[in-house]
A = this chain, B = another copy of it.
Amino acid sequence: MMNVICLVSGGLDSVVAFHDALQSHKVLGALSFHYGSKHNYREIPHARWHAARASVPHEVIDLDFIGRLFSSHLLHSGGAIPEGHYEEATMKSTVVPFRNGIFLAIAAGYAESVGAAGVVIAAHAGDHAIYPDCRESFMSPMALAMELGTYAGVRLLRPFIDRRKEDIVVRGGELKVDFTRTWSCYQGAEIHCGRCGTCVERREAFQIAGIADPTEYADSGPLPPKP
């Protein structure tokens, strides 16, 4: 039992991590970031919904400089979102440089300000292939920097770092998470596209987990083969 801050984007992983943290910790705050991505407007309302239902304060932090100064196809300022598999090299164009480093540094300062001893992030094993700032090799020194750079020694909790996305879906099922109140699609249209890397990853995860996927997809045709 620890006082914690949760990073909650409104995506499937972080929403499940938030409900998981509610079981074992006192959650003092849920943090979302608006950084100019194409899907921020879709996911953040879900984060707000889950936080409100749990009576946890929800803060949306505006990082507008990312859209202005950083290069990534995930951003409104970038090119088209690639279709295909989440772990493919083409998905590299959607990387926002050091995004998790920025989110975690802000969360560490916020945690210290409100008296939280830990920060929860939902990074998981499926993220590792193309995102350097999701790997344990990054998380481990970042955790140390957070601990030694704050008076309180803020700890970085990463409950899903060794799990696959399907494990997170299973855990969400156990926790009775309303998956329709989570957003994955990088396109950020009215409904999930079903074809971008994150949609494919989401669809596969439900299939492998053997849990019915309640998500409405624009295209729910056959999944592409694994790379």
Contacts and interface: CB of A to CB of B under 8 A. Distances in A.
A65 B65 contact: no
Contacts of A221: none
B150 A133 contact: yes
Integer count of this chain's copies in the complex: 2
Given A104-B105, A144-B141, A149 B69 contact: no
B98 A102 contact: no
A66 B109 contact: yes
Contacts of A66: 109
Contact of A97 (B71, B97, B108): B108
A95 B95 CA distance: 32
A200 B141 CA distance: 35
A49 interface: no
A182 interface: no
B104 A133 contact: no
Nearest to A151: B132
A206 to B, nearest CB: 30
Contacts of A14: none
Contacts of A145: 101, 138, 141-142, 145
Nearest to A144: B141
Interface stretch (A19-27, A56-64, A183-191): A56-64
Interface string A45-78: 0000000000000010110111001110000000
Contacts of A113: 69-71, 97
A7 interface: no
A161 to B, nearest CB: 14
A175 interface: no
Q: Which of A62, A100, A151 has the most CB of B within 10 A?
A: A151
**8 nearest A-B pairs in the assembled complex, by CB-CB distance:** A97-B112, A98-B109, A141-B144, A138-B149, A133-B149, A105-B105, A142-B145, A101-B105
